Structure 1
Amino acid sequence: MRQSRGRGVIFTLHHVRPQRAETFAPNAHLEITPHFLDAALRRLTRDGYRFVPLDELPALLSAPEGGRPFAAFTLDDGYINNMEYALAVFERHRTPFTVFVTKGFAEGSHSIWWETLAVLLRQAKEIRFDFGRGSERLALDGPRQQWEAFDRFARYIHRFDEARAVATLDMLARENGIEPTDIVRDLVMRPAQLQRLARHPLAALGAHTISHRALARLSEAEARIEMEVSADYVEALTGVRPAAIAYPYGTPEAAGAREAGLAGRLGFSVAVTTQPGLPAAGKTSYLPRMSLNGFYQKRRYVSALASGIPLKLMGR
C-alpha cells in the first residue's frame, strides 16, 4: 500500500502544551504535548518526509510526482502555547508552520465557546438553560452528566443561529461567575505576540475569519466579509497578505463548494479543511488535513496518518 502515501500530508494542531490533569476534558482531542510533537517530527524525518511551508503547496501539487513526500504543519486559533511550547520544537527540527488567526479571538472581542463550556461544566454543580423548549435543569454531578451537557450545547450551537447561541452561553457563564473573554485572553496570542511570531523565519500567519462561525451557515455576503476582513487583519499585523485560510470547524457542514469559490476569488492560494485526507493536485482551495489528535499521541499513529493507509482501509 506504499502508493497510498501520495505526495504528502498537511497536519492540523490546536494546543501544544504539557498534559494537564482534568477529570472532565471535552477538548482533550485538540491538544498534544510538546514531547509528542517532537516525537512526531522525528518519526516523519525517519520516514523520509521533508517539511515545507504551506504556501508552497500549489507549486508542489502541480509539479510532476516523485521524490520525497512533504509534510506541512498548521495550528488553528492562535493559542499562546503555540509560541511558548510548539515554536521551540519546530525550531529544533527546522520545520515551517502556519498559525491561523481568528481576529475576534486575538482582539478579545469574541469568546471560544467550547473553552467557555468546558470551564462552566467543570465548575457548576447544576445549571438551567433553555434549549428551545423552555428552561431545563441540568445536574452536573459527574463526567457522564458533564459530557451529556457538553454534547447538548454543541448541538444547540451548531443547529441554531451560532452568534446568538454563543451569546446566550456567554450570558449563562457570566451568571455563574465566569467571564468568557477572560478565558480567551488567557489562551490566545494578542496582536503584539502574533506580530513577534510572524517575524520568525519558520512562522507564517493565515486567516481564520473574524468570529470562527461556520461559514456555510452564513449568507454569502457575511461569509465573504468574515474571510476578507480576516485576511485584512493579518496583513495589518504583518504587512504581508496571507496566502492561506482555514475554514472554521472545517467539516463539510461548515464549509463547502461556495466557500472554496470565495477563497479563490479572494486571492487565497491555499484553503484548508479539517476533513481527513491527503492533498491532491488541482484542489488547493479545499485541502484536507490530518489531525494530530490528543487521544492518539504515539509515534506509530503519525506514520499511519501520513501514509494514507487508514483512509485506504476506510475506502476513501
Structure 2
Amino acid sequence: MKTMLRQVAKRAAITGGLEAARLLHATGLMRQARGRGAIFTLHHVRPKQARLFDPNAHLEITPEFLDTAITRLRHDGYRFVALDALPAHLASNDPQPVAVFTLDDGYRNNLEHAAPVFARHGVPFTVFVAGGFVDRTDILWWEVLAELLNQKKSVRFHFDEIETLPTESLQQKQAAFDRIAAFIHAIDEATAVDRLKTMAASQGVDALKLTADLALDEAGLKTLIQNPLASLGAHTISHRALARLSDDIARDEMDRSARRVERMTGHRPASIAYPYGYAGTVSPRDHGLARDLGFTTAVTTQPGTLTDTVDRTALPRISLNGHFQKAGHVSALASGIAFKLTGRG
C-alpha cells in the first residue's frame, strides 16, 4: 500500500509542477529555459488497453495524444527536424526552437500507430532498435515481468535464493515488480534476466514469444524505413546498462548494434540511444565510446532542453509520459521551465 500511495503522491506532485510550468510559459516568463529546442522520447504508441496491473503505463501514449503533442508544439512555434539534422541546427544561428521525435526499442505499434501520425503531420522520427529484439535473442524483460505478474497470484524468483512472492493484490504485484526490477539492475543484468526468463517459462510465459509479439523484426523495420520520414538508430544488442559493462563489452554492444542497423538500411547509423539512459546506467566512459565509434548524436533519458553547449554524445530527452497526456503538459515540458524549477535543467 505504501508503494502505491507514494506513486500517487509523486504523480500529483509532477502534475502540480507541470501546471505551474504551463502557467509561467503562458505568461511568457522564463522563455530562455526552452533553449534551442527539445528531443522527445516515446516507446509504445497505441490505443489504450485496459489492464488490471500496468507497471509500464508510463512508457505508452495513445496515437491521439501524439497527434495532440505535435499540434501543440507547432502552435508553440517549434520546427520539426530529424535527429541527424540536429547538430547542424545547434551549430547554426537559427533562433527558432526545434522538436525532435525518437522512439526506443522498435515496437510494432511504432509502425502501425505512430508512423501514420508522423506522416500526417510531415514530422521526421528516429526509432532506436536493439539487435537482440530484432533477432529474437533477447527479451523485453519489463514486459515479461508485467505479463507474468498480471497472470499469477504468486511467483517464484531466484534472488540470492529462490523465494515465493505473493502477487494477488495490486500492491503485492507492484512490490514484486519493483523488487525484481531492482535485482536485475543490482547484479549482472544478463544473469538476472536469464533467471526471469527461466521463471517465466516455468509458469507458462514464453518470454521470447512476447518479444516477437511486441517488437518489429527485420522485415517490419525495412517496411518502416520505406517511409522517408523514418530513420533507425542503434540501441545496443542486448539492451543492458552500458555503465555496468566492461570497456570491451560496452564497445562491442554499441558497435555491433550499429552494424546490425547498417545491414538493414545500407548505411551506418549516426545516432545511438543508451539503454535506460539515466544516471547510473550510462557514464562518461560511454559518451567517449560513442564518439570513438563515430556517432554524431547519442541520447540519454536525462530530462532537459537543448543548449548551444550541450554534449552531442549526452543529449537530454523529454519523455512523453503515459500518465501525463494533456496538451498543456507538452507545452510545459518543452518550455524547460519545469526542469529549471527543479534544478534539473
Alignment match of 1:288 (pick from 316, 336, 341):
316
> What is the aligned partner in structure 2 of residue 34 from structure 1?
63
What is the TM-score normalised by the length of structure 2?
Answer: 0.90
Cα displacement string for residues 128-147 of structure 1 (whole angstroms, at most 9, x for unaligned residues): 22311x32221111110000
Residue 280 of structure 1: how far off its partner (Å): 2.2
Is 1:154 paired with 2:154?
no
Report deviation, 1:197: 1.1
The letter for the 2-side match of 1:145 is: Q
Gaps of 5+ in 2: 1-29
Given the alignment of the two structures, is residue 236 of structure 1 paired with residue 263 of structure 2, yes or no?
A: yes
Q: Which amino acid aligns with 2:254?
A: M
Identical-pair percentage: 56
**CA deviations over 1:114-153 (Å, ceiling 9, x no partner):** 0000011011111222311x32221111110000000000
Cα deviation, 1:192-215, whole Å, max 9, x if unaligned, reads: 111121121100000000000000
Over 6 Å off, 4+ runs: none
**Equivalent residue for 2:150?**
122
Aligned to 1:178: 205
> Which residue number corresponds to residue 286 of structure 2?
259
**Partner SS state of residue 101, structure 2:** strand
State the alpha-carbon separation in 2 of the partners of residues 258 and 281 from structure 1: 22
2:163 aligned counterpart, secondary structure:
strand
1:25 counterpart residue number: 54
- By how many angstroms is 1:308 displaced? 0.3
Report how far residue 28 of structure 1 moved.
0.3
Instruction: Supply the distance in 2 between the matched residues of 1:135 and 1:292 (Cα, whole angstroms).
Output: 37
Deviations 1:11-52 (A, max 9, x none): 000000000101100000000000000000000011010100
The aligned counterpart of 2:337 is 309
5+ residue gaps in structure 1?
none
- Three-state SS of the structure 1 residue aligned to 2:156 is strand
Partner of residue 250 from structure 2, selected from 203, 210, 223: 223
Structure 2 distance, partners of 1:74, 1:55, is 11
Matched to 2:77, the amino acid is: G
Give, in whole Å, the separation in 1 of the partners of 2:85 and 2:235.
Answer: 19
- TM-score, length basis structure 1: 0.98
For 1:85-104, list aligned pairs within 5 A. 85-104=113-132
CA apart distance, 1:302: 0.3
- Aligned partners of 1:130 and 1:105: how far apart in 2? 24
Secondary structure at the counterpart of residue 205 of structure 1:
strand
1:51 corresponds to which residue?
80
| Secondary structure of 2:272's aligned partner | strand
Size of the aligned set, in residue pairs, is 314
Helix, strand or coil for the counterpart of 1:98? strand
Question: C-alpha separation between the residues in 1 aligned to 2:75 and 2:306?
Answer: 21
Number of the residue aligned with 2:325: 297
From 241, 246, 250, the equivalent of 2:277 is 250
